[in-house]
Amino acid sequence: MSLRAAVVGGGIIGAAVARRLAHEHGAQVTLLEKEDHLAAHQSGHNSGVVHAGLYYEPGSLKATLCRRGVGLLQDFVDRHGIAYEECGKVVVALDGVQAERLDGLHARAVANGVPGVRLVDGEGLREIEPEAAGVRALHSPQTAIVDYPAVTRALAAELTDAGGRVRLGHEVRALADRGTAVRVGVRADGATATEEYDLVVVCGGLQSDRLGGLLGEGRSPRIVPFYGDYFDVPREQRHLVRGMVYPVPDPRYPFLGVHVTPRVDGTLTLGPNAFLSLGRESYERGLPVPADVLDVVGFPGFWRFAAANVPAALRESRTALSSGQFIAEALKYVPALDTSGVVRGTRGVRAQAMGDDGRLVDDFVITGTERVVLVRNAPSPGATSALAIAEHVVDEALRRRDR
């Protein structure tokens, strides 16, 4: 009898894991997603960037799985005819202090095996991006953009072709490892039912700590949601940049800052910023979600983080409170942008894992038991790395079962 498996979460990572279990290992797989469509949260609310591996600590899971994930993703989109554009990316230094930081970023990118990455001076920058302003830049020619929701749907299609099932509108409310099987309580259409599986993989994203709590794991690392707004530039200005234009990361701040990013649909976006969200799944400006707010304010780690990041909060609050300030950040890098027609675009919410000590958890985190694997933290480059994460998670899950 083949392995009975459930995957919780219909984002790109959950779909990739489910597809790999069914397609490569012949498991009977059920993908459980609480929303009425796939890629409803982080997978469908991001910039669409396929990261090359510039930023990540060499040897970390992020670095390893990002580079592996890019290759797997390219092969997958080629087979399915999904929009993918290798438009490249420049990380731009505006002054001498930022220019010096690029040396460390370049060394890290080389250690991670990022292809074609090189440092250029101001003149070299303008050969790559004629409208960009800066004194020095790091150029990653193979950084790309893709349609991640389309990738997610194609992964789910391969899952069903291999005999798997996709159940939308099915919210997991209970998880219990009984030693011989895993009991999963699911609510759908107002009714609750319990099913048993040999293996469960939880890819819960914004709800990953709560789903871990159902199994009896501790809530740390805790998910603290940060929203990121995007602004859309009129399409007639798409020609102003050839690829992505990013700021140099500031080690004093935990987030990258506003950047200029084209999308595969021909639009040009500015963003995102990063500010505390009052709801884990709040994509519109509205009332706070009490349970989500209480989760944050009742978590000592958040207050430790806040105390250590007052300058970052002040910086991000400017772009959160003022659209003019938000747009001004982008203009530092591409002054030729005409911002008169810029309109507010989508909002994303990042599932930021945070430890009890207030530190942001940087690397991917995977925990669980012999029969339940929990993906507790898979931030950027999680989407880029999704197919490689699926390889890693499935191999780990099957290894645990074979002990």
Q: Cα separation of 302 and 358, whole Å? A: 6
Mean pLDDT of 330-356: 94
DSSP symbol at 281:
T
Provide the pLDDT for residue 286. 82
Q: Where in the chain is the domain with CATH 3.50.50.60?
A: 4-46+149-221+362-401
More confident residue, 301 or 256: 301
Question: pLDDT digits over 96-121, tens only?
Answer: 999 999 999 999 999 999 999 999 99
Question: pLDDT digits over 63-83, tens only?
Answer: 999 999 999 999 999 999 999
Asked whether 312 and 323 are in contact (CB, 8 A), the reply is no
Measuring CA to CA, how many Å separate 158 from each of 34, 69, 191, 293, 380?
A: 20, 18, 29, 38, 24
Q: Cα separation of 128 and 125, whole Å? A: 5
Q: Cα separation of 241 and 87, whole Å? A: 10
> In this structure, how many other beta carbons lie within 10 angstroms of the beta carbon of residue 247?
20
Edge to edge, the sheet with strand 182-188 lists: 171-177, 182-188, 191-197
Question: Minimum mean pLDDT among 266-280, 303-317, 382-396: which range?
Answer: 303-317
Provide the pLDDT for residue 250. 82
Rounded to a whole number of angstroms, the distance between the first and last alpha carbons of the chain is 19
Categorize the per-residue pLDDT at 378 as very low, low, confident or very high, splitting at 50, 70 and 90. very high
pLDDT above 70 covers a percentage of the chain that reads 99
Provide the pLDDT for residue 21. 98
Question: Minimum mean pLDDT among 241-255, 267-281, 357-371: which range?
Answer: 241-255
4-46+149-221+362-401 belongs to which CATH class?
alpha beta
262 three-class SS: strand
Categorize the per-residue pLDDT at 1 as very low, low, confident or very high, splitting at 50, 70 and 90. low
Q: Where in the chain is the domain with CATH 3.30.9?
A: 223-360
Which of the following CATH numbers is that of domain 223-360: 3.30.9, 3.30.70, 1.10.10, 1.10.1740? 3.30.9
158 three-class SS: helix
Categorize the per-residue pLDDT at 251 as very low, low, confident or very high, splitting at 50, 70 and 90. confident
> In this structure, how many other beta carbons lie within 10 angstroms of the beta carbon of residue 178?
9
Helices and strands: H and E segment counts in the chain = 11, 21
Provide the pLDDT for residue 403. 65
